[in-house]
Structure 1
Amino acid sequence: MHTPLAVEHGANLKQYNTFGLPSNAQALVRITSESDVRRVVDDPALGLAPKFILGGGSNLVLTQDVRACVLKVEVMGRRVLETRDDAWIIEVGAGESWHETVQWTLDNGLPGLENMALIPGTVGAAPVQNIGAYGIELKDRFESLDAVDLITGRSVTLHSQHCAFGYRDSIFKRHLAGKGVITRVRLRLPRPWQPVLGYLELERKIAETGITAPDARQIFDWVCGIRSVKLPDPAVIGNAGSFFKNPVVTPEQCRDIINRDPEIVHYPMPDGTFKLAAGWMIDACGWKGKSIGRAGVYEKQALVLVNRGGASGAEVVTLAKAIQESVYGRFGIRLEPEPVVV
């Protein structure tokens, strides 16, 4: 006999979103296993209610109270599932911290995730966003995941070809948004390990230190150092990391912008397009350190919006829209926010 589902009514979500924005949930249920999801689906009241899936809350702007039933994913556990000739396969609960998981892999001699150190959020949210940093995206290390369908309660396993991974995008942001709860993620760490170093800031570290063949732990330390300078700790200053996606443009658009702004930071992509540095464009429009109400642009990195204390979701959205208008006015580029606005 199952114990009844613990439902927290009127739960305060301020502590569950890294921006620290005020919001209450009509109902909140903690999901620690697949069977918890099935019990929500089978529950006479909760089964029919709209659902909102919450991981680490690091990619979220809450502008109002959440009338849906919030499913707070807290499935834990990490293990090495398989050691193949060409890869280690590890399985991680969706509620585990992403950064702590990267640390765990290195502590256990399983390199391959070090470029994605210090990305906030949970492991279950990583495929949704196809997180990435310093030349690696989640899809490059993805094996498969388990999820539970919120209509039928059935478990499904999805492999890479089912996930429609794109730049900060996946099927979980589109056709499958809100339709299932990711419970476990399996990652594929290639053997033998090869460092990924083709990013400007990592090349600078090599030049500064003279370490031309860094190991995974060294890359991890470098990435943590670089990110710590750029990104404030959400425990100290509320934020959701990088707020805007770096826009991808055609070679013609890139040439046109370089003609007007020769300094613009841009990176060639494998498919011939160019990625432009959104932070550089926001800075060029004079937004670094500026505020609207109690929401502001971080002094050390224009790509990060922060809660200066007591900000509302509406203030964050107003600031984001003002930045979008400035950048569009100057560069003709419409910046797209990374976080989900609720």
Structure 2
Amino acid sequence: MSISLTALNTLGLNQHCASLVEVTSKNELITRCIELYQQQNPMLILGGGSNLVFTDDFQGTVVKVSTTGIVIDQDDDFYYLTVQAGENWHHLVEYCLSREIYGLENMALIPGTVGAAPIQNIGAYGVEFNRFCHQIQFLQLDTGKLVYFDNDQCHFDYRESIFKQQLKNLAVITEVTLKLAKQWQAVTNYGPLQHLDPATVTARQIFDCVCHVRQSKLPDPKKLGNVGSFFKNPVVSIDVYNTLKTRYAALVGYPQGDDHYKLAAGWLIEQAGLKGFNIGDAAVHQEQALVLVNLGNASGKEVCQLALYVIQTVFNKFGVRLQPEPRILGSAGEIDINE
């Protein structure tokens, strides 16, 4: 039996899987994942499908996580939100905003599910997931046990976590607990938010600004397949930054506080003349160079060929090597983009 995955990945790639299971409760998620792991068949845990590039049909079982539920606890200083892995991330941001629980507004409209957020340590406009992570509950497949990690145990870094490293293919995130301060502090020091006054701005205004910017710059995947930002913003030493800044006065970079700078990957790609460049139906978006899009019938292999071309072109011009954000998937699981 072959089941289409086209509607389950936001790039709209026409690939299939051998079998598909949708789970709607945490117990069902745990039970099915243990069964599949013990059978030693390829297994893919799928949330919103917004961070995946399928390069081949998946010869295993896709587990679609559709678990929902949000529980709020609080003490004098903080709200604690325990959220099931299948909840939509943007819906969670809206949920918090409607209840005057603030902090997540900078990360509005990031696609995907809550369970995927800690894996990638998602972030936008100066705020990352780990700022609010209190606890992660996950199923450890090799032991069959539920495990709790606090923030430090997750080894968060820029678009990194222990779930992408030591626990890769061994952890299925079941629920996330966020810790949000009742004394909210605005974060407006990044990009298009810098014109806002942190002393007077509201969380709603930041939310509205972020949504406006993202909707104006990023294509709707329902209309034009994409995974959002395809490349990480590269982090370079201050020496590399200063050298590039001397050569390119308009270079966009943000200090990281430890003698490093984060460069805007979209600016590098645009300056390399790649806006609109395509390989087959895979193209660099005309409006936002950080986004690779499916013009209609792109294959995952074409998307990867385009990504590798972008990486090499930017490296040739700037000496900076870009890294892809999404997971590249082959027939049995995650692969390197060069494979």
Distance change in 2, residues 1:163/1:227 (3 Å): same
Query: Counterpart of 1:223 in structure 2: which amino acid?
Result: V
Query: Counterpart of 2:43 in structure 1: which amino acid?
Result: K
Instruction: State the Cα distance separating 1:135 from its structure 2 match.
Output: 0.9
- Say whether 1:19 aligns with 2:11: yes
Instruction: State the Cα distance separating 1:225 from its structure 2 match.
Output: 0.5
| Secondary structure of 1:128's aligned partner | helix
Per-residue CA deviation, residues 118-146 of structure 1 (Å, 9 max, x unaligned), is 00000000000000011110000101121
Distance change in 2, residues 1:257/1:171 (3 Å): same
Q: Does the 8 Å contact 2:187/2:198 carry over to 1? A: no
Q: Does the 8 Å contact 2:276/2:285 carry over to 1? A: yes
Hey, what does 1:3 align to over in structure 2? none
Using the alignment, how far apart are the partners of 2:45 and 2:303 within structure 1? 21
Query: Which of 61, 70, 74 matches 1:78?
Result: 70
Hey, what does 1:226 align to over in structure 2? 213
What does 1:250-269 correspond to in 2, within 5 Å? 250-269=237-256
| Secondary structure of 2:194's aligned partner | helix
Query: Counterpart of 1:250 in structure 2: which amino acid?
Result: S
Hey, what does 2:262 align to over in structure 1? 275
TM, length-normalised to structure 2: 0.93
What does 1:1-342 correspond to in 2, within 5 Å? 9-41=1-33, 43=35, 47-80=39-72, 82-204=73-195, 206=196, 213-342=200-329
Segment drifting more, 48-57 vs 15-24: 48-57
Using the alignment, how far apart are the partners of 1:44 and 1:94 within structure 2? 19
Instruction: State the Cα distance separating 1:179 from its structure 2 match.
Output: 1.0
| Secondary structure of 1:90's aligned partner | strand
Using the alignment, how far apart are the partners of 1:299 and 1:129 within structure 2? 26
| Secondary structure of 2:226's aligned partner | strand
The gaps in structure 1 that reach 5 residues or longer are 1-8
Using the alignment, how far apart are the partners of 2:126 and 2:36 within structure 1? 47
Q: Does the 8 Å contact 1:40/1:47 carry over to 2? A: no
Per-residue CA deviation, residues 287-339 of structure 1 (Å, 9 max, x unaligned), is 11221100111111100000000110011001101111110000011100000
The gaps in structure 2 that reach 5 residues or longer are 330-339
Instruction: State the Cα distance separating 1:35 from its structure 2 match.
Output: 2.3
**CA RMSD across the alignment:** 1.6
Instruction: State the Cα distance separating 1:211 from its structure 2 match.
Output: 9.0
Q: Does the 8 Å contact 2:29/2:65 carry over to 1? A: no
Using the alignment, how far apart are the partners of 2:34 and 2:167 within structure 1? 20
Instruction: State the Cα distance separating 1:155 from its structure 2 match.
Output: 1.0
Using the aligned pairs only, state the percent identity.
46
Instruction: State the Cα distance separating 1:164 from its structure 2 match.
Output: 0.7
Per-residue CA deviation, residues 5-46 of structure 1 (Å, 9 max, x unaligned), is xxxx52211111110111111122222233223432554896
Q: Give the number of equivalent residue pairs.
A: 329
| Secondary structure of 1:69's aligned partner | strand
Using the alignment, how far apart are the partners of 2:92 and 2:37 within structure 1? 35
Distance change in 2, residues 1:217/1:50 (3 Å): same
Using the alignment, how far apart are the partners of 2:129 and 2:36 within structure 1? 37
| Secondary structure of 2:39's aligned partner | coil
Using the alignment, how far apart are the partners of 1:321 and 1:93 within structure 2? 35
Using the alignment, how far apart are the partners of 1:45 and 1:131 within structure 2? 27
Hey, what does 1:4 align to over in structure 2? none
Distance change in 2, residues 1:190/1:27 (3 Å): same
